[in-house]
Structure 1
Amino acid sequence: MGCAERAGINLGADGISVIEVTGKDNLMISDVLFRTLGVPCYMVFDGDAGTEERKRQSTAHLLPEQRQDKELKYERDARRTREKNADLLRYLGSPPIPQPSDESTARYTVFEDNLETYFSQHWLAWDLRRRDLVRSDEAVDGKYAATHLETTRTVATEPPFLLHAMLENVTSLGKTAMVV
């Protein structure tokens, strides 16, 4: 939404709603429900490529047997995530890649890991601006929509190409569309 605002596009006025469905498990069902009602949908999701490694790093302080149990769970979770990615892409008519790369198509945008990692790699000024906002108590650290919106609205540099492509794909859906 922040990228749309920067571009002078009012998604709401254009009949486009952004709905958080909290996870991959809810994307397909939301898409099916809205499309059944005749409402075009556009999906945005994370491929979560780095999640397993980040979780493993968080177990470094544990005893070996505790760490092993956690790491086995993280492996199972990562395997399920890859299966969900492939299922989603198959549903969307794309090759069922378990670990997709950053991509924006007419039906979806996927971030290889997650939005925050994408920003830290491709829009360095965004991450610096977010940190400044958090330090000055104008935003909350973590995955908060309000922090992301304010950072995107106020960062000095332009968003990377993938975000422009996503915005173009979303707005091409026309009036009364949902972004899930």
Structure 2
Amino acid sequence: MNIIDGPVETTVERQGHGFQRAMIIAALKLLSDRGGEGSRSKAVCLAIEEPELYQHPVQARAFSQVLRKIAEDPNQMAQVAYATHNPIFVDPHHFHEIRRISRVRNSSSHRAISIAHVRVDDVIEKLSGFVPEERVRKQIGAAILNRLPEALFASSVVLVEGETDKAILEGAATRDGAPLAVEGVHVAEAGHKTAIYLSHAVLTLLGIPCFAVFDADSGVGARMEKNGRKSRDIRNAELNERAENHRLLMYLGQSRISDLPPTHADIGYAVFADCLEATLKSDWPEWGEKVEELIQSGIGYSEKNTYTYARAAFEASGEPPFVIKQIIQNVKAMARQGQ
């Protein structure tokens, strides 16, 4: 087959890999578009290794949609399987079809292959007594789509509540010249404390070591009082936080459970007595000073800006709080054990 580009004519073999992949995508799209014209007499199995190679992100997304269309067309009689390292090809609406293949160490320290997959019913069972079934079914697709695509490819995951927590941990981990990503660690945002359950369950069921980090919010009442909230609302918020702390620690398998746990890091989780920012304010004042310096210089931005927080965590003098160092050490150790 020859390609004509203006006055130049060359064979497909002499084109770049990106163009060759585009030709394959075009051929598959044609197959997909003609699938409705009639049923096939023979079944087809498409097995593709790393379909994202040499493709722009938009083109890769289009490719994933074409493959999905082919697989779901009853006239095609086609089965599609691909091995990928790209979260674009993770389909949150067909979560049960995902297989995570990894190399693990067995009891004799030899390498072995592990194949893990999760169904929605598995997640529901794991979260029984903690998250209602209806909420799991409603939110699992969004969790995979918005929070966990990259985490599914990690050696271990730090699961935090929000984007500023992620920024601070990643910035602090870079101080020694060994960013978390270099160790195969991904920091994923759950969105809020009550959303940690779902993401944690999905990751652990897939065999991905997961380290949860959350705030006990012991100062929620003081903050609400400062903002002029009613005493009844303050009391309800304090009771809710205590109950959620208790329940989350139970889910994480802790035998010693406190409704208002102190700041500390354990094997599989870490908690801040109030919140991460309060810990930084008391134990690492240089971080706050650096944030203000960045804002005043026009480099940083106020109102919990993630770029400012991450840069301050990387550049601030002094040393990060011990609990942050423990989190970083623990998740890196998790990643090494799984490799």
- The normalised TM-score by structure 2 is 0.47
Residue 53 of structure 1 aligns to which amino acid in structure 2?
A
Query: Does residue 1:39 correspond to 2:200, yes or no?
Result: no
8 Å CA contact retained: 1:5, 1:153: yes
Match of 1:56 among 225, 247, 254: 225
Task: Please list every run of at least 4 consecutive aligned residues from structure 1 whose deviation after the TM superposition is greater than 6 angstroms.
Answer: none
Q: Which runs of 5+ in 1 are unaligned?
A: 60-66
- SS at 1:110's partner residue? strand
1:83-115 superposed Cα distances (whole Å, 9 cap, x missing partner): 111111111122221111000011011111111
1:138 counterpart letter in structure 2: I
- Could you tell me which of 182, 187, 200 is aligned with 1:18? 187
Instruction: Considering Cα pairs closer than 8 Å and 6+ residues apart, tell me whether 1 or 2 has the greater RCO.
Output: 1
**Cα distance between partner residues in 2 of 1:13 and 1:125:** 26
Q: Which has the higher strand share?
A: 2
1:157 and 2:318 matched: yes
- How far residue 121 of structure 1 moved from its aligned partner, in angstroms, is 0.5
> What secondary structure, in the 3-state scheme, does the structure 2 residue paired with 1:39 have?
coil
Partner of 2:233: 73
Structure 2 spans left out of the alignment, 5+ residues:
1-169
Q: What letter corresponds to residue 71 of structure 1 in structure 2?
A: S
**Structure 1 residues 136-145 or 26-35, which shifts more?**
136-145
Structure 2 equivalent of residue 64 of structure 1: none
- Kindly provide the CA deviation profile for residues 2-58 of structure 1, in whole angstroms up to 9, marking residues without a partner as x: 121002222212221101111111111111011111111001111111121111011
Deviations 1:143-178 (A, max 9, x none): 33222101101102121211111111111111598x
Q: 2:250 — aligned with what?
A: 90
Larger radius of gyration: 2
Query: Which stretch of structure 1 is more off in the superposition, 121-130 or 86-95?
Result: 86-95
CA distance in structure 1 between the aligned counterparts of 2:204 and 2:234, rounded to whole angstroms: 34
Alpha-carbon distance in 1 for matches of 2:191, 2:298: 26
Work out the percentage of aligned pairs sharing the same amino acid.
Answer: 29
RMSD: 1.7
